[in-house]
Structure 1
Amino acid sequence: MFKKVYGCYLVNLLQVFVGIFATLPILGAELRFPNGEVFQTEFVYEDERILSVRFRGKEYKVPKKSLESYDLSKKSSSVSSYKLSSFVLKDGSTLRGTIAEEKPNEYTIKTEIGFLTLLKSELKTPYPVQSAPPDFPEEYRSTDKETNQTRVGLSFNYLPTLPPLSQSTPALLGASLFVEPAFLRITEKWQTGFKYEYQTSRNLTIHSGYTYFLYSKQLFDNPILDFYTSIGLGVSQAAFKTEGSNLAFTGTNPLVNWELGWQGLKISKSFYRIGWKNHCFIEEKGAFCGSGIEISGGWAF
């Protein structure tokens, strides 16, 4: 019976994770360089100076001043590249576009206003040639290893419970496993993570899984003064056994998790966090919460 219930719980938990992941926005960014090279990329984040994008699995940070233009209104994260060719007419005017088709006496080009046909007799030489899709300039390749790493780790927490839960359960002891994938970093300061958590008390056992969004803030550019806060949403399954009898009750409920802490200790590829954790299970009769300390450690790669 326990294996069946636990298996159903894991299936439900996986469905929640997949559902949350599927609803994450997929954004694209079109970057155009002065030399005519255009890249359709995955948008990562931007600030007043830098545009961070991902192209074919690699992350790049491009100064906005190095771009001719950029467009963040794209709704797709598909990646591709092409180069705009310049066509100089004999009357002195210039057109830019991509070569869709070349014939012995004419070009068909794609421009921002549509397709145009140009006779070669109307163009100045040398004639443009169709080029292969360009590669993203490696000079903009991101070398910030810390922000391009996946983190995995373990956490241990001690949460004294709050009324009304404290009337039957004085405190929760918990351990958890978490992962923060590099490809789910939202911005330079925001990171998406997933956590599985096991908590127990004298008459209560809880399995939880949730997605969280972690915000990091370093004060005065000092690595030691590195703080974080996170908010998480997910589901939990609790098994409660009444004292003095063999009666047991189980239930699945949504949960909310909020944390605030310090993460300034890093040794080689390992990192450590200590913070204050607030964990609430939402039921029809209200919220049942615990609040206390959590210590975490993990590895970045």
Structure 2
Amino acid sequence: MRIIFYLLLFILTSYQITAAELLLKNGNSFLLDVVHEDERNVQVNWKGRVYTIPKKEIQKLDYSKKGSQSSHRYSTFVLKDGSKIRGVIAEERDKGYTIRTDVGFLEIDKSQIQDLDNGGNSSPDLPNEYLTESTKQPETIFGGSFSFLANTSPITPAHSVTGGAGFFVEPAYLFLSEKYQVGFKVEYLVSPGTSNYSFLNAYSYLKKDFGTGDSKNWYGILGAGFGSVRYRRGETQVSGVDPIGYLELGYQGWKLGNLVLRSGLRANCYFESRGTVCMGGLEISLGYRI
């Protein structure tokens, strides 16, 4: 399956492949083919394999450099006069070096050198951690939720509980990092009693995952938005729109295929001019990853 994936990838993207020199911040430089570039990553073809490299780890991407695929290591020379020169060692002799820099070739006597950082392998390879097949790609998650909440004053004890259902989506393009994701949620809640309260809420939220690697089993959500609150008793009906705050903490380690089950404790508050109404309790969500 991986062979088919890479074959299709090369066929679909071959028209935009461009040669370039990619210089990592650790000093390793690669003359390779750039398949795709966006604001976060650079996807490259290096020795028949596809790598996805975060831009935060790239020092320079130079499309003016052309040629067959090769790699080398930039060395840093600290001279006794305090100056620094960075380049590729083209030749080493008993008394000096010939180095290639961005402005041409230079000769440096070893007697002029105070310190030299050449960082190891002169023909480095791209780390396997950048391989696209081992890079976790952002996923869009959408699903539904059920809430069972206890109310606080002033609507309790006449309305002690609230329950309802909602829909949420966490788009892949709003995947901020390995631990942060932006999402949106709409829900409808009802609080029955001698009268009736109903709440139609819409808000955006920031979700943070806790843990490392694939074991990010715990999460926290902080959100804000607006709620349409409606009160009805007999023929009397009052409604309005209030700002709301939202907080949720829970566990998301139950997964089956593309399904993920979350269970957490949540609280939300409606901020009115006459006071604040809060409720809190259990939230159960089932999402599908695409």
TM-score, normalization: structure 1? Answer: 0.58
Alignment partners' CA distance in 2, 1:177 and 1:300:
14
**Matched residue type, 2:226:** V
- 2:153 matched residue in structure 1: 163
1:168 CA drift (Å): 4.0
- 2:229 matched residue in structure 1: 238
Alignment partners' CA distance in 2, 1:254 and 1:230:
17
> Number of aligned pairs?
206
- The structure with the largest strand share of the pair is 2
- 2:15 matched residue in structure 1: none
1:204 CA drift (Å): 1.0
1:146 CA drift (Å): 5.6
Q: CA RMSD in A?
A: 3.8
Judge conservation of contact 1:157–1:173 (CA < 8 Å) in 2: yes
Judge conservation of contact 1:36–1:83 (CA < 8 Å) in 2: no
- 2:210 matched residue in structure 1: 217
1:143 CA drift (Å): 3.5
- 2:242 matched residue in structure 1: 253
Judge conservation of contact 1:165–1:289 (CA < 8 Å) in 2: no
Alignment partners' CA distance in 2, 1:62 and 1:145:
11
Runs of at least 5 residues in structure 1 that lack an aligned partner in the other structure? 1-30, 44-52, 71-79, 87-91, 98-136
Alignment partners' CA distance in 2, 1:286 and 1:163:
10
Based on CA coordinates, which of the two structures has the bigger radius of gyration? 2
Judge conservation of contact 1:151–1:300 (CA < 8 Å) in 2: yes
Judge conservation of contact 1:193–1:211 (CA < 8 Å) in 2: yes
1:95 CA drift (Å): 6.2
Sequence identity of aligned pairs in percent?
27
- 1:286 matched residue in structure 2: 275
Alignment partners' CA distance in 2, 1:222 and 1:60:
18
1:175 CA drift (Å): 0.4
- 1:206 matched residue in structure 2: 199
Alignment partners' CA distance in 2, 1:293 and 1:63:
40
**Residue 96 (structure 1) aligned with residue 77 (structure 2):** no
Judge conservation of contact 1:32–1:68 (CA < 8 Å) in 2: yes
3-state DSSP of counterpart to 1:289 = strand
- 2:63 matched residue in structure 1: 82
1:183 CA drift (Å): 1.3
Q: Deviations over 1:190-246 (max 9, x none)?
A: 111110111112211111111111111137x684x71111101111111111x3x31
Runs of at least 5 residues in structure 2 that lack an aligned partner in the other structure? 1-21, 45-49, 68-97, 104-125
- 2:258 matched residue in structure 1: 269
Judge conservation of contact 1:148–1:182 (CA < 8 Å) in 2: yes
Alignment partners' CA distance in 2, 1:174 and 1:277:
13
